[in-house]
Copies of this chain bind each other. A is one copy, B any other.
């Protein structure tokens, strides 16, 4: 910057003003400064600027699992929305580990992100409290924590789940295996509660950890126990369940029915195509980013609940007629 100033025959203050689009500088000096910048290939140091202004124009996003396409899509939506407001997003991948999540959150805070978007690994509120205590704007995404006091953006799958339950019961299933998420996550608990609630005594629940392998194992146990229908509470566990079903040579829907929470582009391509509960991922990501930006700007955004939709395809058998 000093070099630029020297080159243009002005002070660094003037260079700064040109850079920040202040009204002050003469068109003529602005021209000279711009020329010098160009000639020297000067690029401002964002670190120094942020140190001075206490604003990084950066949002932190800590997601549960980058390899889960659901979160990848969310991440992309957040990024799009943020960019359209001049913000950049730093993504941290917690890998469904509370410990790694905490590490990332602290790293991001240390780098002074202007706000934080968090998909909490567990419903333990301590990390959220820590962030709030630091006064950093925070929005929870997809999952919430116990007694959360910050805005939450998530999907509501209750209607879709009860509709799904109706279908399954209507189709005559009496042993319905539920591959649930971890009970210490809000989505894991809520989805399962709603489904088992509307299923009455017909549900059998096995908890997984939102990953493929746990889906296979849960499916194996449930099939062994005589389940004639499987509902996986997230797409990765659904993938695992599907693998187990295939490995046993069972036919969907003849031998066993299957439905999965979260849609994926390849679900319609299976034979039969898989019935899913689709979440509005893109809208969730965008809404969360907007809420966070509002919070940063001193507003108090409300919680947002978008509705997930039941998409009936062939994997339920006659129920989908």
Partner-B contacts on A (CB < 8 A): 41, 43-48, 50-51, 56, 66-67, 69, 72-73, 75-76, 79, 88, 90-91, 93, 106-107, 109-112, 133-134, 212, 239, 242-243, 246, 264-266, 268-271
- A45 with B239, Cβ < 8 A, contacts A67-B76, A72-B72, A79-B93 known: no
- A269 with B67, Cβ < 8 A, contacts A51-B45, A109-B43 known: no
3 nearest interchain CB pairs? Answer: A46-B110, A46-B111, A47-B51
Contacts of A76 in B (CB 8 A): 66-67, 93
Contacts of A110 in B (CB 8 A): 43-46
- A243 with B270, Cβ < 8 A, contacts A51-B47, A56-B47, A112-B47 known: no
Question: Of B50, B66, B239, which one neighbours A72 at CB under 8 angstroms?
Answer: B66
Q: For the A-B complex with A45-B112, A242-B266, A270-B270 known, give 20 more contacts whose Cβ atoms are closer than 8 Å.
A: A41-B134, A43-B106, A46-B107, A46-B112, A47-B51, A47-B111, A47-B112, A51-B51, A66-B72, A66-B75, A67-B69, A67-B72, A72-B72, A75-B93, A90-B90, A91-B91, A239-B269, A243-B268, A269-B270, A270-B271
Nearest B residue to A49 by beta-carbon distance? Answer: B110
In the bound assembly, the distance between CA atoms of A50 and B242 in angstroms comes to 48
In the bound assembly, the distance between CA atoms of A69 and B69 in angstroms comes to 7
Contacts of A134 in B (CB 8 A): 41, 43
In the bound assembly, the distance between CA atoms of A46 and B106 in angstroms comes to 11
Contacts of A88 in B (CB 8 A): 107
In the bound assembly, the distance between CA atoms of A31 and B269 in angstroms comes to 62
Nearest B residue to A79 by beta-carbon distance? Answer: B93
Contacts of A239 in B (CB 8 A): 265-266, 269
In the bound assembly, the distance between CA atoms of A206 and B79 in angstroms comes to 32
In the bound assembly, the distance between CA atoms of A48 and B66 in angstroms comes to 30
Pair B51/A48 contact, Cβ less than 8 Å: yes
Contacts of A43 in B (CB 8 A): 106, 109-110, 134
Pair B270/A41 contact, Cβ less than 8 Å: no
Question: Smallest CB–CB gap between A114 and chain B, Å?
Answer: 12
Question: Smallest CB–CB gap between A216 and chain B, Å?
Answer: 11
In the bound assembly, the distance between CA atoms of A41 and B130 in angstroms comes to 10
Nearest B residue to A245 by beta-carbon distance? Answer: B269
Contacts of A107 in B (CB 8 A): 46, 88
Question: Smallest CB–CB gap between A194 and chain B, Å?
Answer: 27
In the bound assembly, the distance between CA atoms of A45 and B112 in angstroms comes to 7
Question: Smallest CB–CB gap between A19 and chain B, Å?
Answer: 12
- A47 with B50, Cβ < 8 A, contacts A76-B67, A269-B239, A269-B270 known: yes
